[in-house]
Amino acid sequence: MDNPNFQFKSSVVLVPLFSVLSIWIVYFIEIQFKLNFNSFGIYPHTIRGLRGIIFSPFIHGSLKHLFNNTIPLAVLLACLYFFYQKIATKVLLLGILLSGMATWLIGRPSYHIGASGIIYLLVSFVFFSGVFRKYYRLIAVSLIVVFLYGSLVWYIFPTEESISWEGHLSGFLIGLLFAFIFKNVGPQNETYIFQKNEEFEKMFDENGNFILPVVPEDTDTDMHSENTK
């Protein structure tokens, strides 16, 4: 029987495809026309830097930076829209806004760019959602995510000067928060309710012992013996 919580929809392909194409097109425009969009990234504690909350996920500093974000972004978005269809768009859009705002609040005075904040948001949300829901299918997805991207957790700490650990940490914390807030929305652990059967219960006494059925006497035989007297 098909599970209504897990049905393939066009968004499972279209959203990841559109997202990946967008970041590659922006990078191609920069290279082709010798432009630099880094100034559209998040610059903490400045009014102008707030625009980066919207624009920064599309901007990447190098081809390596872009390539490193492409596959995780596509895979995690596909997971989000396949397993959490009802809340996927809400998680994605609100996650971008809130993680971007958090980066703006705690970030160093530098331009923070790239889709890695979204990747950390998705890794955190998918992992903790499976844990909080205690649903074996989603827990399996969580374990796969840990296997593929578990090493990313080290980059939520200030390990390298050129890496926006603030953006990573912000995405990770917002993903954890959303996993908790939305734990009762969408697919849930399967439970089974057994109907109470009164006839079945009568077959046992209060101690749980089986009660042997009482065989009624043969009334027809008694009536026959009375008639022959």
Structural domain includes residue 130: yes
The boundaries of the domain holding residue 203 are 198-227
Which residue positions in the chain have pLDDT lower than 70? 1-7, 190-229
| Residue 138 shares a structural domain with residue 29 | yes
- Residue 66, amino acid: L
| Residue 155 shares a structural domain with residue 206 | no
Domain CATH for 52? 1.20.1540.10
| Residue 130 shares a structural domain with residue 207 | no
Structural domain includes residue 190: no
pLDDT at residue 225, as a whole number: 46
Q: How far apart are CA 184 and CA 147, in angstroms?
A: 26
| Residue 85 shares a structural domain with residue 141 | yes
Listed residue (120, 117, 125, 119) closest to 142, CA to CA? 125
| Residue 102 shares a structural domain with residue 212 | no
pLDDT at residue 186, as a whole number: 74
Cα distances from 108 to residues 56, 100, 102, 167, in angstroms, run 15, 13, 12, 10
| Residue 120 shares a structural domain with residue 216 | no
The count of domains in the chain is 2
Q: How far apart are CA 42 and CA 117, in angstroms?
A: 11
DSSP letter, residue 151: G
> Given 3-state DSSP classes, what are the helix, strand and coil percentages for the chain, each rounded to the nearest 5?
65, 0, 35
- pTM for this entry: 0.79
Q: For 100-131, b where at least 16 C-beta lie within 10 A, e where not — what string?
A: bebbbeebeebbbbbbbbbbbbbbbbbbbbbe
Q: How far apart are the first and last CA of the chain?
A: 69
| Residue 22 shares a structural domain with residue 112 | yes
Helix orientation angle between 116-133 and 88-106, rounded to the nearest 10 degrees: 120
Q: Are 98 and 117 spatial neighbours (Cβ–Cβ below 8 Å)?
A: no
3-state SS string over 29-97? HHHHCCCCCHHHCECCCCCHHHHHHHHHHHCCCCHHHHHHHHHHHHHHHHHHHHHCCCCHHHHHHHHHH
pLDDT at residue 223, as a whole number: 46
pLDDT at residue 205, as a whole number: 61
| Residue 207 shares a structural domain with residue 128 | no
96: Cβ–Cβ under 8 A, 6 or more apart, which residues? 53, 54, 57, 117, 118, 121
| Residue 140 shares a structural domain with residue 208 | no
Q: How far apart are CA 110 and CA 165, in angstroms?
A: 12
| Residue 137 shares a structural domain with residue 215 | no
